[in-house]
Amino acid sequence: MNNIKGSLILLLTAFIWGTAFVAQTSGAGAVGTFTFNAARSLVGALFLAIVIMIKNVLDKRNDSGRVINTENNSLPQTWPVGAGIICGIVLFAAMTFQQYGISVYPEGVAASGRSGFITATYVVMVSVVSVFLGKKMHWIIGVSVAGCVAGMYLLCMSGGISGIYLGDVLVFLGAICFTIHILVIDKFSSADSMKMSCIQFIVIAIISAFVMMFTENDVTFAGIKAALVPILYAGVLSSGIAYTLQMVGQKYAQPSVASIVMSLESVFAVLAGWVVLGEVLKPREITGCVLVFASVILAQIPGMKKGDKK
């Protein structure tokens, strides 16, 4: 029952993350990359700070009279500043590549769907990188990598080399950074997740705002107002609520199941782009999406067979 509960929570997380690609695509048309990321990260950090304060107030009402950390049933942890800064720098790079990549797709390209599926390749990359970190590579991972490469070819090279967009390359670099981010988070797994997430978004907001001042001279109140809804959606729902739901969901679901459910964000990205923005993928691109998604799921099978739990 707990696994089902966790899966449903993570399904909602995947839905929010997938539909956030539409918000990012819409926001890219109104403000620059660093303006959008600075605003969404600031909103996400403020939201998480409020949640943490409410959580602390509720924790203080324990019968024991002590503040209890509900994450590990111990005394509250300090703010993991160092871990948050490191995660923030890596996630800043990931978000920058992804958002800028989305913004440079030409008109008529299904930016939300393509970027969603390209980003999903981080699941396969995490499995491959783990081999270099000492884990034995299962033969299924090899098949998964081959399927992912074939899917990326169909998705991004419909017109040969000329069919690769700059956006594809940038979003893929973002996926690599997301892979590094996941591995870095794993190193700090003992830290308070919510506090670390709050710090990382503060770091992203500061760096993005600093770069924005030197690279985006066309920042206007009208532009920010036009992108307000996408900023709030990406900030509150994608950065704040979805990250919190991910933490809660992974407490109940097995990691292998969690990865499969969360990889559905790529499917939701395509559906949301189709419904909201009217984006349409060509048959060849759809085939590529199916291969990438199948590879993402296939990459989780070795872990599922072991029944590993975090």
Q: Name the token pair of 305.
A: 């067979």
DSSP string for 155-202: HH-EEEETT--HHHHHHHHHHHHHHHHHHHHHHTTTS-HHHHHHHHHH
Contact criterion met (CB below 8 Å) for 208 and 40? no
pLDDT in tens, 113-164: 788 888 878 877 877 787 777 766 677 767 877 887 787 777 666 555 566 8
Residue among 166, 178, 130, 127 at smallest CA distance from 17: 178
pTM: 0.78
What pLDDT score does 55 carry? 83
Strands (DSSP E) found in the chain: 158-161
Q: Is the pLDDT score of 110 beyond 60?
A: yes
Residue 80 falls in which region: left (phi positive, over 0), alpha (psi -120 to 50) or beta? beta
Task: Label residue 176 by pLDDT band (50, 70, 90).
Answer: very high
pLDDT in tens, 31-81: 889 999 999 999 999 999 998 998 888 877 764 555 445 444 444 568 889
pLDDT in tens, 251-264: 676 555 566 667 67
Q: Is the pLDDT score of 303 beyond 70?
A: no
What pLDDT score does 185 carry? 81
Task: Label residue 276 by pLDDT band (50, 70, 90).
Answer: confident
Q: Is the pLDDT score of 25 beyond 50?
A: yes
Contact criterion met (CB below 8 Å) for 148 and 291? yes
Please give the span between the terminal C-alpha atoms of the chain, in angstroms, as a whole number: 17
What pLDDT score does 233 carry? 92
Contact criterion met (CB below 8 Å) for 43 and 243? no
Of the listed ranges 1-10, 88-97, 188-197, the least confidently predicted one is 1-10
**Cα→Cα distances 91→80, 126, 141, Å:** 16, 15, 25
Higher pLDDT, 24 or 86: 86
Q: Is the pLDDT score of 96 beyond 90?
A: yes
Contact criterion met (CB below 8 Å) for 39 and 235? yes
d(CA 120, CA 265): 8
